[in-house]
Structure 1
Amino acid sequence: MIETIRYAEYEWFLWLNSFHSPFWDTVMYWVTYRLTWIPLYIYIIYYIFVVIRKNAWYKLIFVLISVGLADRVTSGLMKPYFQRFRPCHDPAIENLVHVVGGCGGQYGFASSHAANTFAFALAFTLISRRQTKWKYFLFLWAILVSYSRIYVGVHYPTDLMAGAIAGLLSTYVIYFSITQFNQSLLT
C-alpha cells in the first residue's frame, strides 16, 4: 500500500515537473527565489503602518512570528524528523527530475516555502480590514510559489500540502493565543 502511494506521488510529481521550457524555467526560478518578493513584503509593511495603522507594531510582529514559527516547524522539526529526500536527491527518480537553479538541502518534507507563504497570507488576512479584498490574492501567490517548488524539482506535492498546513496551523495557533490574551491587539 505504501509503495503504491509512493509510486503515485512519483508519477504525479514527474507529470507536474515535466511542463518546462527555457521561458518558464526563468519565470519559475524568479518566482521561487526568496528575494524576488521583497517589494511585496515592503508594501505589506507600508500597508500595515499607513493604511491599517491601528496596533501596527503588534500586527507586524504577529506576521513575523507566524512566518518564523512556520519556518521553524518545517525546517527545524519536520525535515530533520522525517528525513524525506527531495525529488532531486531521491535515488528512485533523481535522474528524471528537471532541476532549475540547484537542488538545495537533502530533505524536503515539509516545504518551508509553502509554510512561510501560507503563514504570511493567512496572517495578513487575519489582521487586515474587511474592506481589504485584495488580501485573498496572497493565497494565489502562496499557491504559485508552492507550485514553483515542484517546477524547479525540489518538492513533492505532499511536501507542499504539509508545508501549507503547517503554515496555516502555526498562524492560527499564534492568532488564537494572542486573541485569548487580548482580543483588541490584532483587530
Structure 2
Amino acid sequence: MNDLLLWDLKLFFYINNRLTNVFLDFVLPWMREPYFWAPLYLFLGVFITYNYKWRGFFWIVFFILTFAITDQSSGFIKELVGRLRPCRDPNIAQYVRVMVIYCPGSGSFTSSHAANHFGLAMFSFLSLKPQIGKWAWLFFVWAAVIGYAQVYVGVHYPLDILGGALLGIMAGLLSGGFFQRRIRLELEQTS
C-alpha cells in the first residue's frame, strides 16, 4: 500500500509541477467548472426532449439521478476514508501548485468530479450510442479531461481520480443499463 501511495504522490507532482504550460494553466481550471459545461448540458436536455418527447424527459431524469448517486456515494466514501487533499496536506501543501481560488475542505478520495462525470459519461454512452454511434466514446474523453484537470490544479491525487472514475462507471452502468432495458430512446411514431 505504501508503494502505491508513493507512486500516487510522484505521479501527482509530475502532473502538477512538471507537465505544465501556460495554455494548460489557463484552460484546465475552467474545464473543471460546472458552468463551463452548462451549455453542453442544456443542449443535451433540449436535443433529447425535442427529439424523443416523453422518453427524453425520462432520459433527463436518469441523467440527474446518475449524478445524484455518484455525488452522494463519493461524498460518503470521502468521509469514510478521510484522505487529505494535496493542497491541504501540511507535509506537501507548500509544494503544490494550486490553480483554483480555494482548496476544498472535503476529503480527497474519491474525486466527486471524476465520479460524477464518468458516471454521466457511462450513462450517456450506453443510452446515446445507438443514436450517435462511434462518437459516443467522446463522453469518456470529456470525463478524463475533467479528471486530469483535478490533478493538474492541485486538488486531487491520481488515485482519487481513478477511484472516482471506477465509482462513476459502476453507477453509470447501473443507471444506463436499467434505462436501456426499461425505457430506451426511440423516436416517437407519429401517424
Give 1:113 deviation, angstroms: 0.5
Give 1:103 deviation, angstroms: 1.3
Q: Check conservation: 1:114, 1:160, Cα contact below 8 A.
A: yes
Assess, with a 3 A threshold, how the Cα gap between structure 1 residues 55 and 94 changes in structure 2: closer, same or farther.
same
Bigger drift between 170-179 and 125-134 goes to 170-179
**CA distances 1:57-98 after superposition (whole Å, capped 9, x unpaired):** 1111111101110011001x1110000011111223211111
Q: Check conservation: 1:32, 1:148, Cα contact below 8 A.
A: yes
Trace 1:5-154 onto structure 2 (pairs within 5 A): 5-18=4-17, 19-53=19-53, 55-75=55-75, 77-101=76-100, 102-133=102-133, 134-154=135-155
- Aligned-residue CA RMSD in angstroms? 1.8
TM-score (norm 1): 0.89
**CA distances 1:106-156 after superposition (whole Å, capped 9, x unpaired):** 411000100111111111122225140322211101000000000000011
Q: Distance in 2 between matches of 1:96 and 1:103?
A: 14
2:130 is paired with a residue whose SS is: coil
State the AA in 2 paired with 1:74. Answer: S
Q: Distance in 2 between matches of 1:108 and 1:82?
A: 9
TM-score (norm 2): 0.87
Give 1:184 deviation, angstroms: 3.7
Give 1:105 deviation, angstroms: 2.0
Trace 1:166-177 onto structure 2 (pairs within 5 A): 166-177=167-178
Q: Check conservation: 1:10, 1:93, Cα contact below 8 A.
A: no
Give 1:52 deviation, angstroms: 4.0
State the AA in 1 paired with 2:91. Answer: A
State the AA in 2 paired with 1:119. Answer: G
Q: Distance in 2 between matches of 1:23 and 1:178?
A: 39
Q: Distance in 1 between matches of 2:107 and 2:131?
A: 41
Q: Distance in 2 between matches of 1:114 and 1:150?
A: 11
Q: Distance in 2 between matches of 1:140 and 1:109?
A: 21
Structure 2 unaligned residues grouped into runs of 5+: 186-191
